[in-house]
């Protein structure tokens, strides 16, 4: 008997990496299709300017209805798979003991080999619990990390701790060919440990896919070395896996220590190297939530009490059980190479198209999104005029695309009130997973090419309302001249009645 569809045909894995083209250059190829879509609207440039002015020059304060392409973040806005949506229907509602939680715990154990799971409502909630448990409010309490993330640092300093960042020098170079710019400088780790004393180090934290330096990955060799150092010196090794899926892709394609290995084999090794792993499931797991996981009961026990105190009972931690189900499936899917390759290949293509036009970007391209180098894009703006924030506003006006400032605006002032100038002034155009297509990217490249030609028109911003903590979220700024009007006039001159 012949079968119309043979099971083996259905189960055969996709092989995007090995598809060759006959008549064109390779392009990133989506190995999924869209089945639910959301209509977009591109408002005229005058309305875009009014919207960003109404938002205090801050892209965080824009309303979605005014945005064409939302590239603010990939956080909580990645497209879910059919299997994730289906899993949500079997959510097991219960204050305590929900089966949904145990399915998520199983997925985490499958990924990292870790036995204990503490749920939290998102990544920073996990960071809050870590900071409550391990940051001591004494002058020398220090968390050492490859690089900080905004919420991580804010929570540690809020609870009286300090942060030291020791990414390798290549990590802070906007342009480099180092494949793992997020690696930690191991010599500095030894020096700092000797200087501060292990007893004053709350933990050593490595962030996968190092966000603020352009989504740059960490190598397995670095994780092994940091783990060994921490264990020889009685230090706690914490791994932020929020951006692990991009990092895992780069490990698979760039790291000789990972060549030919199954992704799950790599994540299981990471699970053995770190004492504690936490993540934002708004990124890893493509849903909305977060968690901390460990194999050590003593650490689990030290953190556990904070979950019901700040989040919710131990089997939901502030998350909806529907999201917990989606995370469980999303974590399994993050072990599929054809799923995790999507963002990095789109970022690489975005970067390639911009570099071909001479537009300054972070190289090598990382994960998460495209990172424009605002210092080089707007060299006439000093850092106290927030070049990355000004570029974010200008890109919104020119393209209706919303990016995120990742520069001085995102820093906290020094305790004496002086500005802390960021090491890099970046504008991130995030690529939420599976949401945008290549033609969206091509459109943004076109508008960026125009803006690059007209970059002299872009002026600075100044705060008119500046919150003390995480000021970039809801601070309000104004243009320091009439530059937005001049940008709109130039657009109308060049594009006529075009949107
Ligand atoms: N760690 C990293 C590396 C992150 O990128 C984020 C969030 C967090 C922790 C905090 O997680 O948002 O769930 O509380 N990054 C988002 C972004 C906000 O847009 O890059 P969260």
Does pLDDT of 14 surpass 80?
A: no
Is 319 a residue whose pLDDT tops 90?
A: yes
Report pTM.
0.95
pLDDT at 8 over 80: no
Q: Give the percent of the chain with pLDDT over 70.
A: 97
In the predicted structure, residue 11 carries a pLDDT above the cut 50: no
Q: Inform me whether the pLDDT recorded for 233 exceeds 80.
A: yes
Contact 279, 291 (CB under 8 A): yes
How many angstroms is it from 395 CA to the middle of ligand 1? 23
8 Å CB contact between 263 and 248: yes
pLDDT of residue 393 exceeding 80: yes
CB 219 within 8 A of CB 206: no
**Ligand 1, pocket-test mutation among 244, 245, 280, 430, most atoms within 8 A of CB:** 280
pLDDT at 10: 39
In this structure, the residue with its CA closest to atom 13 of ligand 1 is 123
Q: Catalytic one among 147, 237, 472, 491?
A: 472
pLDDT band at 25 (very low <50, low <70, confident <90, very high): confident
Q: Whose CA is nearest to atom 1 of ligand 1?
A: 242
Q: Is it the case that residue 79 has pLDDT exceeding 70?
A: yes
Q: Going along 60-126, which residue ranges are E strands? A: 69-70, 116-120
Active site residue 240: yes
Pocket test for ligand 1, best of 70, 73, 75, 78 (most atoms within 8 A of CB): 75
pLDDT bucket at 15, cuts 50 / 70 / 90? low
Q: Please, what are the domains in the chain?
A: 34-74+340-495 (3.90.1150.10), 82-338 (3.40.640.10)
The number of angstroms, rounded, from the C-alpha of 350 to the middle of its chain's C-alpha atoms is: 17
Pocket test for ligand 1, best of 151, 276, 410 (most atoms within 8 A of CB): 151
Q: Is the Cβ atom of 182 under 6 angstroms away from ligand 1?
A: no
Catalytic residue among 49, 375, 406, 434: 406
Q: Which residues pair with 402 in a beta bridge?
A: 70
Residue 123 in tokens? 């990544």
- Are the C-beta atoms of 390 and 371 separated by less than 8 Å? no
pLDDT at 100 over 50: yes
The mean pLDDT value for 446-455 works out to: 98
CA 283 to the chain's CA centroid:
7
Above 70 in pLDDT, residue 97? yes
Q: Is 75 in the pocket of ligand 1 (CB under 6 A)?
A: yes
Considering only CA atoms, which of 343, 242, 240, 247 is closest in space to residue 287? Answer: 242
Closest residue by Cα to atom 16, ligand 1, is 75
pLDDT of 427 reads: 98
Mean pLDDT of the chain: 95
Give the mean model confidence (pLDDT) for residues 415-428. Answer: 94
Q: Whose CA is nearest to atom 10 of ligand 1?
A: 123
Confirm whether 310 is a catalytic residue. Answer: no
- Rounded Cα distance, 103 and 330, in Å: 12
What share of the chain in percent tops pLDDT 90?
92
Q: With H, G, I as helix, E, B as strand and everything else as coil, classify residue 414.
A: coil
Higher pLDDT, 469 or 135: 135
> What CA–CA distance (Å, rounded) separates 270 from 69?
35
Q: Mean pLDDT across the stretch 459-480?
A: 95
The tokens describing 80, both together, are 């879910």
C-alpha 229/C-alpha 237 separation (Å) is 9
> 343 an active-site residue?
no
Q: What angle do CA 317, 318, 319 make, to 5 degrees?
A: 95
Could you tell me where the DSSP H helices lie in 135-168?
Answer: 150-158
What pLDDT score was predicted for residue 364? 98
What's the rounded mean pLDDT across residues 159-165? 96
| pLDDT tens per residue across span 124-139 | 999 999 999 999 888 8
d(CA 144, CA 200): 11
**Ligand 1 pocket, 149 CB below 6 A?**
yes
What's residue 1's pLDDT?
45
How far is the C-alpha of 290 from the C-alpha of 96, rounded, in Å? 18
Give residue 5's pLDDT.
57
Say whether 95 is catalytic: yes
Over residues 167-192, the mean pLDDT reads 98
First-last CA distance in the chain:
59
């Amino acid at each position: 008997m012949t079968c119309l569809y043979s099971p083996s045909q259905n189960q055969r894995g996709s092989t995007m990496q090995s598809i060759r083209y006959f008549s064109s250059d390779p392009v990133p190829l989506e190995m999924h299709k869209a089945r639910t879509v959301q209509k977009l609207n591109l408002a005229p440039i005058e309305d875009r300017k009014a919207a960003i002015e109404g938002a205090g020059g801050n892209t965080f304060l824009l309303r979605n209805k005014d945005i064409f392409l939302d590239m603010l973040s990939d956080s909580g806005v990645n497209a879910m798979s059919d299997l994730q949506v289906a899993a949500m229907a079997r959510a097991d509602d219960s204050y305590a003991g929900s089966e949904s939680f145990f399915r998520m715990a199983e997925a985490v154990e499958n990924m990292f080999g870790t036995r204990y799971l503490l749920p939290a409502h998102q990544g920073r909630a996990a960071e809050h619990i870590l900071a409550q448990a391990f940051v001591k409010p004494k002058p020398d309490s220090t968390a050492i990390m490859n690089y900080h993330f905004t919420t991580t640092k804010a929570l540690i300093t809020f609870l009286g701790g300090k942060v030291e960042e020791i990414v390798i020098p290549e990590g802070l170079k906007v342009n480099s060919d180092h494949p793992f710019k997020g690696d930690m400088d191991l010599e500095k780790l030894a020096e700092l440990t000797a200087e501060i004393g292990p007893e004053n180090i709350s933990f050593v934290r490595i962030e996968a896919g190092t966000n603020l330096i352009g989504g740059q990955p960490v190598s397995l060799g670095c994780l092994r070395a940091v783990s060994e150092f921490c264990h020889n010196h009685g230090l706690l090794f914490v791994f932020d896996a929020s951006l692990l899926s991009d990092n895992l892709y780069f490990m698979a394609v760039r790291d000789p220590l990972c060549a030919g290995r199954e992704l799950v084999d790599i994540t299981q090794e990471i699970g053995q190297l770190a004492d504690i792993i936490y993540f934002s499931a708004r990124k890893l797991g493509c849903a909305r939530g977060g968690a901390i996981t460990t194999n050590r009961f003593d650490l689990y026990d030290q953190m556990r009490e904070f979950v019901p105190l700040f989040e919710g009972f131990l089997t939901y931690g502030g998350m909806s059980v529907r999201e917990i189900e989606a995370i469980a499936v999303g974590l399994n899917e993050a072990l599929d190479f054809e799923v995790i390759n999507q963002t990095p290949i789109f970022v690489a293509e975005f970067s390639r198209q911009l570099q071909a036009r001479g537009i300054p970007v972070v190289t090598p391209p990382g994960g998460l999104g495209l990172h424009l180098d605002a210092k080089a894009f707007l060299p006439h703006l000093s850092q106290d005029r927030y070049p990355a924030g000004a570029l974010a506003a200008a890109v919104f006006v020119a393209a209706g695309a919303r990016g995120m400032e990742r520069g001085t605006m995102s820093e906290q002032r020094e305790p004496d009130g002086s500005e802390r100038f960021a090491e890099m002034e970046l504008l991130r155009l995030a690529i939420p997973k599976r949401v945008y297509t290549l033609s969206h990217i091509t459109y943004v490249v076109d508008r960026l090419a125009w803006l690059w030609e007209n970059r002299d028109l872009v002026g600075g911003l100044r705060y008119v309302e500046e919150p003390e903590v995480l000021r970039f979220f809801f601070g309000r700024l104004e243009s320091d001249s009439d530059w937005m009007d001049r940008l709109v006039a130039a657009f109308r001159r060049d594009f006529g009645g075009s949107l």
